[in-house]
Structure 1
Amino acid sequence: MTLAEVADAYEREAYVAIRHAVQDRLRRQARCLRRMVANRDAADPTTLRLHHALTLDVPGRWCRRHGYRASFGYDGLTLQREGEPVIVASVGNTLHWDGHRITVTP
């Protein structure tokens, strides 16, 4: 079972829990696990796959690390570096850093 699956299990348990304190604790644990998954995904400096479990700051930090500004929208992000055209990436795309620039693959 992956960390994301465990987080989903905590969310399901929170949904059926009767006591508010138990619901809150389970949801906090699920958020913590999802945060771990997102940080682990961003640890690779050469690739980052965009998915719904990523928190907004993770791809933003990853892009800044490579000299790009990122802006977030409904289903993905746009990124740009001074003097280069805007790059648009959607959920499910993978960002690649080749040492000089970021490219996007579906």
Structure 2
Amino acid sequence: MSQTLLDVVHDYERQASRAVRWETREDARRTANYLRRMLGNREAVDPTRFELRLSTLIDLPVTWCERHGYRAVAGLEGYVIQRGDEPTIIAKVGNTLLWDGQRITLGEAT
């Protein structure tokens, strides 16, 4: 059975929650955070699409939108995205942000 990077992140998070020694717990948490950041950065590399997942770090979609000239703010239920006087986009986990070269639109998860 092959593990995905997200599975490895979860393994480190479990190790951190079970660790007795503070140093062991902190090492496992730091490793999990590093791998989660690496996973998110890998997902954010595609300039044409960004899928919002539960595992997505909050700042990655914001940065992705800013690269396309939009302002994005993380909220309780997802992200509010807007550029100029264009209609506001409300994106939540499960949605995919799509860039067509001109504007961001919202795609539903498949």
Percent identity of equivalent pairs: 49
SS in 2 for 1:70: strand
Flag structure 1 segments of 5+ consecutive residues without an equivalent: none
Query: Please, what TM-score do these two structures have when normalized by structure 1?
Result: 0.97
SS in 2 for 1:21: helix
1:31-75 Cα deviation digits (max 9, x unpaired)? 000000000000000000001222121101100111100011112
Flag structure 2 segments of 5+ consecutive residues without an equivalent: none
Counterparts of 1:16 and 1:69, CA distance in 2: 40
Counterparts of 2:77 and 2:88, CA distance in 1: 16
AA in 2 matched with 1:88: I
Per mean C-alpha deviation after superposition, the further-off stretch among 51-60 and 96-105 is 51-60
Counterparts of 1:57 and 1:38, CA distance in 2: 10
Aligned residues: 106
Per mean C-alpha deviation after superposition, the further-off stretch among 40-49 and 54-63 is 54-63
Pair 1:2 & 2:4 matched: yes
Aligned equivalent of 1:66: 68
After TM superposition, the runs of 4+ consecutive aligned structure 1 residues lying more than 6 A away are none
| RMSD after superposition | 0.7
